Amino acid sequence: IGQKFWETISQEHGIDTNGNYCGDNDLQLERINVFYNEGSEGKYVPRAVLVDLEPATMDSIRASPYGKIYRPDNFVNAQSGAGNSWAKGYYTEGAELVETIMDVVRKEAENTDCLQGFQLAHSLGGGTGSGLGSLLLSKIREEYPDRILSTYSVLPSPKVSDTVVEPYNAVLSVHQLVENCDATFCIDNEALYDICFRTLKLTNPAYGDLNQLVSAVMSGVSTSLRFPGQLNSDLRKLCVNMVPFPRLHFFMVGIAPLTAFGSQQYRNLSVHELTTQMFDARNMMAASDPRHGRYLTAATIFRGRLSTKEVENQMLAVQQKNSSYFVEWIPNSVKTSLCDIPPVGLKMSGTFIGNSTAIQDLFKRVNEQFTVMFRRKAFLHWYTGEG
Nearest residue to 14 (alpha-carbon basis) of 3, 23, 25, 4: 23
Which of the four pLDDT bands, split at 50, 70 and 90, describes residue 26? confident
pLDDT digits (tens, 9 = 90+) for 201-236: 888 877 778 888 888 888 888 887 777 766 666 777
Q: How far apart are CA 214 and CA 202, in angstroms?
A: 16
**Domains of the chain in sequence order:** 2-384 (3.40.50.1440)
If one compares 157 and 13, the residue with the highest pLDDT of the two is 13
Nearest residue to 5 (alpha-carbon basis) of 134, 150, 142: 150
Kindly provide the b/e burial profile for residues 251-285, where b requires at least 16 CB atoms within 10 angstroms of the residue's own CB. bbbbbbbbbeeeeeeeeebebeebbebbbeeebbb
Bridge partners of 314, per DSSP, are: none
* Angle at CA of residue 299, ends 256 and 273, nearest 5°: 30
Q: Return the pLDDT at 231.
A: 67
Q: Return the pLDDT at 266.
A: 58
User: pTM of the full predicted structure?
Assistant: 0.84
* Mean pLDDT across 350-374: 87
Q: Return the pLDDT at 259.
A: 63
Lowest mean pLDDT among 18-22, 258-262, 367-371: 258-262
Residue 337 contacts residue 301 (beta carbons within 8 Å): yes
Nearest residue to 297 (alpha-carbon basis) of 240, 230, 224, 233: 240
pLDDT greater than 60 at residue 38: yes
DSSP label at residue 262 = T
β-pairing, 148-155 with 250-256?
unpaired
Bridge partners of 284, per DSSP, are: 254
Q: How far apart are CA 277 and CA 108, in angstroms?
A: 38
The 10 Å Cβ neighbour count of residue 84 is 22
* Mean pLDDT across 233-240: 78
